[in-house]
C-alpha cells in the first residue's frame, strides 16, 4: 500500500469520525435524534406514520369534544323540557277540577300554561354555535316555526367521527321530542288552554301530556347513552394519544445524557485518531522530492 493510499484512507476515516461528531453535536443542541431524513430513513418513515396517527387522533379528540358540547346542550334543554312538562301536567290536573275552580282560576291556569308553551317553544329552538340541536342539519336557524312546523329533514342527523370506523350522533330528534304541527306539544297546550277557557274538562288531555313526557324521557335517555359512549371514546383516545407520543419520542427525541456521553467519547476518539495518524504517516524522501 502506497503512502498516498494510506493518507487517503486516513483522511476518509477522520472525515467519517468528524461527521459522526457533528451529528452528535446536532442531536445535543436540538435534542432530536432525527434532524433530517438521511439521519435514519427507516426511523424517519416510522416517525411519519406515528405523526400521521397523532394528527388523526387529535382530530378525533376535537370531534369528541365538539360532540360532547352538542350533547350537553341537548341534555340541558331536555332537562328544562321535563320540568316544564311536569308543571304543565300539574296545572292540567288542577284545571280538571271543574267543580272546585272559578272561571277566574281557570283563566289564571290558562295564562300560565300559555307562558309555559312559549318557554317550551323557546327551549325547542335551543342552538349550539348557531345551529339548532333539535333540527339535525337544518339551516333555518330554528327547529320550530311559530306555526309549530318542524324545519328538520327526516333522517337528517348531525354526527361526529370519533374513530376510523366509529361515529356518534350528537343532535336530538326534535320531531320525536316535541311532535310537529297540530300533533305537537305546543298545539296540545293550546288545546288545553282553549278547553279551560271554553268550559271543556281538560282531564282527557292528561293522557296526551303523559305520552309526550314519555317521548321526552326516552330521548333524554338516548342522549345520556351517547354521552357515555363519547366519554369512553375520549378516555380511549387520551390513552392512544399518550401511546403515540411515547412512540414518537422514542423515534425522534434524543436522550441528552446519552448523547453527551457519546459526543465526549467521539471527541476523544477523533483526537486520538488524529494523533495516531500523524505518527503513522511520517514524511518520506518522496514527499521532499515532490
Q: Domain count for the chain, please give it.
A: 1
Q: What is the CA radius of gyration of the chain?
A: 38
> Kindly report the CA angle at 61 between 55 and 62, in degrees rounded to 5?
90
- Spatial CA neighbour of 53 closest among 166, 159, 167, 163: 163
Q: Is residue 227 part of a domain?
A: yes
* Grid cell at residue 9: 484512507
Give the confidence band of 249 by pLDDT, cuts at 50, 70, 90.
confident
Give how far the C-alpha of residue 2 lies from the chain's centroid of Cα atoms, to the nearest Å.
70
pTM: 0.77
* pLDDT score for 82: 97
Residue with the larger pLDDT of the pair 290 and 75 = 75
Q: Is residue 204 part of a domain?
A: yes
Residue 75 sits in which domain range? 69-248
Q: Is residue 129 part of a domain?
A: yes
pLDDT in tens, 92-148: 999 999 878 899 999 999 999 999 999 999 999 999 999 999 999 998 989 999 999
Give the confidence band of 290 by pLDDT, cuts at 50, 70, 90.
low
Percent of the chain at pLDDT exceeding 70: 75
CATH number (domain holding residue 165): 1.20.1330.10
- Whether the Cβ atoms of residue 169 and residue 156 lie closer than 8 Å to each other: no
Give the confidence band of 186 by pLDDT, cuts at 50, 70, 90.
very high
CA-based diameter of the chain, in Å?
135
CA–CA separation, 134 vs 141, rounded Å?
11
pLDDT in tens, 113-127: 999 999 999 999 999
Using H for helix, E for strand and C for coil, what is the string for 174-242?
HHHHHCCHHHCHHHHHHHHHHHHHHCCCCCCHHHHHHHHHHHHHHHHHHHHHHHHHHHHHHHHHHHHHH
Amino acid at each position: 500500500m502506497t503512502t498516498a493510499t494510506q493518507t487517503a484512507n486516513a483522511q476518509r476515516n477522520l472525515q467519517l469520525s468528524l461527521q459522526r461528531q457533528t451529528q452528535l453535536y446536532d442531536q445535543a443542541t436540538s435534542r432530536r435524534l432525527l434532524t433530517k431524513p438521511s439521519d435514519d430513513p427507516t426511523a424517519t418513515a416510522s416517525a411519519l406514520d406515528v405523526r400521521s396517527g397523532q394528527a388523526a387522533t387529535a382530530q378525533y379528540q376535537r370531534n369528541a369534544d365538539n360532540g360532547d358540547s352538542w350533547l350537553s346542550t341537548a341534555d340541558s334543554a331536555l332537562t328544562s323540557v321535563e320540568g316544564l312538562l311536569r308543571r304543565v301536567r300539574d296545572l292540567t290536573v288542577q284545571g280538571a277540577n271543574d267543580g272546585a275552580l272559578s272561571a277566574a282560576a281557570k283563566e289564571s291556569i290558562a295564562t300560565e300554561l300559555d307562558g309555559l308553551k312559549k318557554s317550551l317553544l323557546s327551549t325547542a329552538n335551543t342552538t349550539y354555535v348557531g345551529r339548532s340541536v333539535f333540527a339535525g342539519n337544518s339551516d333555518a336557524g330554528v327547529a320550530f316555526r311559530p306555526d309549530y312546523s318542524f324545519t328538520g329533514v327526516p333522517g337528517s342527523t348531525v354526527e361526529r367521527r370519533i374513530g376510523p370506523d366509529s361515529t356518534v350522533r350528537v343532535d336530538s330528534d326534535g320531531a320525536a321530542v316535541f311532535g310537529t304541527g297540530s300533533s305537537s306539544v305546543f298545539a296540545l297546550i293550546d288545546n288545553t288552554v282553549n278547553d279551560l277557557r271554553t268550559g271543556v274538562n281538560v282531564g282527557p288531555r292528561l293522557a296526551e301530556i303523559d305520552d309526550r313526557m314519555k317521548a321526552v324521557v326516552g330521548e333524554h335517555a338516548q342522549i345520556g347513552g351517547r354521552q357515555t359512549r363519547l366519554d369512553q371514546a375520549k378516555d380511549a383516545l387520551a390513552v392512544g394519544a399518550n401511546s403515540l407520543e411515547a412512540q414518537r419520542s422514542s423515534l425522534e427525541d434524543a436522550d441528552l445524557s446519552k448523547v453527551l456521553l457519546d459526543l465526549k467519547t467521539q471527541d476523544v476518539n477523533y483526537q486520538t485518531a488524529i494523533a495516531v495518524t500523524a505518527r503513522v504517516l511520517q514524511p518520506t524522501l518522496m514527499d521532499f522530492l515532490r
